[in-house]
Amino acid sequence: MSHLELKNVSKSFGPVEVLHQVDIEVKDKEFVVFVGPSGCGKSTLLRIIAGLEKATSGEVMLDGEVVNHLAAADRGLAMVFQSYALYPHMSVRQNLSFGLENTKTPKDKIEERVAEIARMLRIEELLARKPRQLSGGQRQRVAIGRAMVRRPGVFLLDEPLSNLDAELRVTMRAELAALHKRLDATMIYVTHDQTEAMTLADRIVVLRDGRVEQIGTPLELYNRPANRFVAGFIGAPH
């Protein structure tokens, strides 16, 4: 089970409040996309869920338990960043296995898991390479693979495709959708790209200036946008 609830979450940096009483519920195995213009608070919200940033007020709940006090490593989540954040001096294989090395997982099990992930993401041929020897798309596959290693119940993805060219973005989008089905995990995906949101999401959360404007399926947002901002952003007639 991996069910997430944000209750009345606000966040200030100094005197500036950048998230205002955000309420969102993400069901187990749902693919939810947070969408909104640059600077509206998407990354901050994701970082609060991940435990990389503390909410100023409000609650983050995982499977019915408040987790505000839990460190990132203890939340059972995995985050994929736009910048990949791979270890440059390590091979792809080491980048993938690193997350299991400080656990009690036996060596042969780690190898098995790395092989399985490499197969799933079609990066088997790249295991001996260093990140600098990879293309952008390959790096992003490794970053996703690294997040998969501990079999997290929830994946947090912050604009994972935005550094890729348009063609590769379309390919990777389809792969992510397929991966979601296979992984049996909850996905929370941040983007400023409406097309990505509309094609990937079970439900979309539209954010503007740190507030939730509307939550709904792509079809609901398109057919019944709550206001002009949502309509404009989603590309619906208004």
Of 40-48, 104-112, 124-132, 148-156: span binding ligand ADP (CB under 6 A): 40-48
Q: Which does 140 bind (CB under 5 to 8 A by kind): Mg ion, ligand ADP, none?
A: none
CB-based closest residue to Mg ion: 43
**Long-range contacts of 10-16, Cβ-Cβ distance < 8 Å, separation of 24 or more:** 10/55, 10/56, 10/57, 10/58, 11/41, 11/44, 11/45, 11/48, 11/53, 11/55, 11/56, 11/210, 12/56
- Interface with Mg ion (CB under 5 A): 43
Whose tokens are 């408040």? That residue is: 66
Q: Which does 38 bind (CB under 5 to 8 A by kind): Mg ion, ligand ADP, none?
A: ligand ADP
With DSSP H G I counted as helix, E B as strand and the rest as coil, what are the percentages for the chain, rounded to 5? 40, 25, 35
Evaluated on CA atoms 226, 227, 231, 232, the torsion sign reads negative
Judged by CB under 6 A, how many residues of this single chain contact ligand ADP? 10
Of 29, 31, 43, 137, the one binding ligand ADP by CB under 6 A: 43
Q: Does residue 15 touch ligand ADP according to CB under 6 A? A: no
Q: Which does 55 bind (CB under 5 to 8 A by kind): Mg ion, ligand ADP, none?
A: none
Q: Does residue 54 touch ligand ADP according to CB under 6 A? A: no
The contact set with ligand ADP (CB under 6 A) reads 13, 18, 36, 38-44
